[in-house]
Amino acid sequence: MATHSVGAEVDQERLVRRRAATPERRPVLIILHQERSTPGRVGRLLAERGHPLDIRRPRFGDPLPETLALHAGVVIFGGPMSANDSDDWLKAETDFIGLALKENRPFLGLCLGAQMLARHLGGRVFAHAGGLAEIGYYPIRPTPEGLDFARRLGAPWPTHVYHWHREGFDTPPGAVALAEGDEFPVQAIRYGDTAFGFQFHPEVTHAMVYRWTTLAASRLNIPGAQPAAEHHRGRFMYDPAVRLWLGMFLDYWLESGARPAPAREPSFPARQPRHAQPELAGAGEGPHFAPPELPRPVRRGG
């Protein structure tokens, strides 16, 4: 009977990284906003598809690349700040979205990242008129355009998704609304063929839900937020559909920007990794405390 060893795991990881180094498996740029936040299930699914994760935190001084020619796409995750804040790093990061759009690279914004996309395109980001938040699982409904997108995707939209936000956004000029909600009407948008913004958090893992509802329990008192028990109940009820949909979406999203790698590698700003970040702790408005025993994500310097 074959034995399983740590050495075998290391060899398998190296094999995955060798496959990931091919032009078809370029790194995905991951932009996070807290020192201990991570890309959660999105990061794991991208790594399973052979894409290294180029993790950067512009808020803490990490430079952004001058071009995305060597990246398969960009994902901007959530955070406790507002897309309306005046911080220089946030303005620079919002402007950086224009590079992804100009170079036609797949872009995905989640929660804060979606709001930054809306702001970049000239849309509004604003608090609920009644002071409500969406914190927990809430229903979404596809628009007619969203139904058409689901047919192309080959997977239906989930009926409920996980939220952790107090601001929403309009459908910006030139974008198309794909899904809507009750208190925050715009839940998913598409701009062109490769840029998407989701107000919700499909990246959350089971552990993340426990962390956020425990370490940020005070936020569950905000009007509109669900009690912790509803988060856990919703996870078991709705997450299987979210997991299926997310995998199909990421396949579609990655293929939307597939093109041959450039013949010459452009010059990137020098970057040194700042933090050792496990993959599965999460990202978004909730707190981020990743257990140190989890594996490190694949990184690519730039």
Please say if 203 is a catalytic residue. Answer: yes
**The residue type at 96:** F
The catalytic position among 203, 231, 285, 288 is: 203
Out of 33, 51, 71, 111, which one is annotated catalytic? 111
Catalytic residue among 51, 201, 231, 288: 201
Active site residue 4: no
DSSP annotation string for the chain: -----HHHHHHHHHHHHHHHTSGGGPPEEEE-SSTT---HHHHHHHHHTT--EEEE-GGGTPPPPS--TT-SEEEE---SS-TT---HHHHHHHHHHHHHHHTT--EEEETHHHHHHHHHTT--EEE-TT---EEEEEE-EE-HHHHHHHHHHTSPPPSEEEEEESEEE---TT-EEEEE-SSS-EEEEEETTTEEEESS-TT--HHHHHHHHHHTGGGGGSTTPPPHHHHHHHHHHHHHHHHHHHHHHHHHHHHHT--PPPSSPPPPPP--------SSS--SSS-----TTSPPPP----
Query: Is 120 annotated in the active site?
Result: no
Residues marked active site are found at 111, 201, 203
